Amino acid sequence: MYSKVKMRIASILLIILFSFVGFIAVFPLLALAIASLKPSTELMRQGINLNLQWDLISLNNYTFLFTDGTTYLNWYFNSIMVSGILIVVSLFFSSIVGYALAVYKFRGQNLVFLLVLLTLMIPFEILMLPLYQLMATLGLMNTYTGVMLPMIVAPIAVFFFRQFSLGLPKELLDAARIDGCTEFGIFFRIMAPLMVPAFAAMAILQGLFSWNNFLWPLVVLRSNDMFTLPVGLATLLTPYGNNYDVLISGSVLSVVPILFLFLFFQKYFISGLSSGGVKG
């Protein structure tokens, strides 16, 4: 009886603790959502807070985003297009590379994996100048190809898929080969379905990275109508004036695609992340 009371008290304390931590995590987004409903003069006077002043609350900032000649929708579409293509292409190539490093034995296998690990340790800012020179040489400046090309094979995704593939049942490989299945057929028909948790996890991470990527699109893109959302929102801050009200409301709407991406993939991510073999 005493142990049950202790467990009950511990459960209540954990609920309180996690609720507090959850509020801390949600607080910035909640404050941002409330600030997006206030005029810029109020933001300059009181800053971002949780104070709901109903007489000042309106949807004027959101209306301005879509009606008053801004290119916000164009930026939004550009980000969705770039992020969507990059997620699909990156998962395709990264999964194949990671799977090959885990399943096949070839000369230089460990060296290739070591190079992947070394690439993870190099800050992108160091690679940005040679990448810029490469894109300029290829004539890919101010193009979406130039934005996406350096990100097609992500080292973190290759590492993740390689580690996940190490836990796949090798017996399925031998059985498929005996049945006459090709190596690509083995991957796409047998192994890829087992790697759904890995695909889900990397889709969330790659989508988050691509959607929030600011520095590289800023370097490559030149035209205002081609800007992605982070770069476009940054143009609202200028030496001649800062549209904080529009910037904040645009930032709030920018959270929506990532939220939907997580909600769509979370059941695959949570349910099977620890399983990579045959369930019996």
198-232: per-residue pLDDT in tens? 898 888 889 889 999 999 999 999 888 899 999 98
State the CATH architecture for 70-272.
Orthogonal Bundle (1.10)
Largest Cα separation within the chain, whole Å, is 75
pLDDT of residue 163: 87
Query: What pLDDT was estimated at residue 231?
Result: 92
CA distances from 231 to 20, 43, 257, 272 (A): 34, 22, 17, 36
151: closest CA among 205, 112, 75, 74?
205
* Residues 29-63 pLDDT 10s: 888 888 888 887 777 777 777 777 777 788 888 88
Work out whether the CA dihedral 189, 191, 194, 199 comes out positive or negative.
Answer: negative
**Separation between Cα atoms, residue 45 and residue 244, nearest integer Å:** 12
Q: Which residues pair with 242 in a beta bridge?
A: 237
Q: Where are the domains of the chain?
A: 4-10+16-63, 70-272
Question: Which pLDDT score is estimated for 243?
Answer: 74
Bridge partners for 241 per DSSP: 238
**How far is Cα 135 from Cα 133, in angstroms, rounded to an integer?**
6
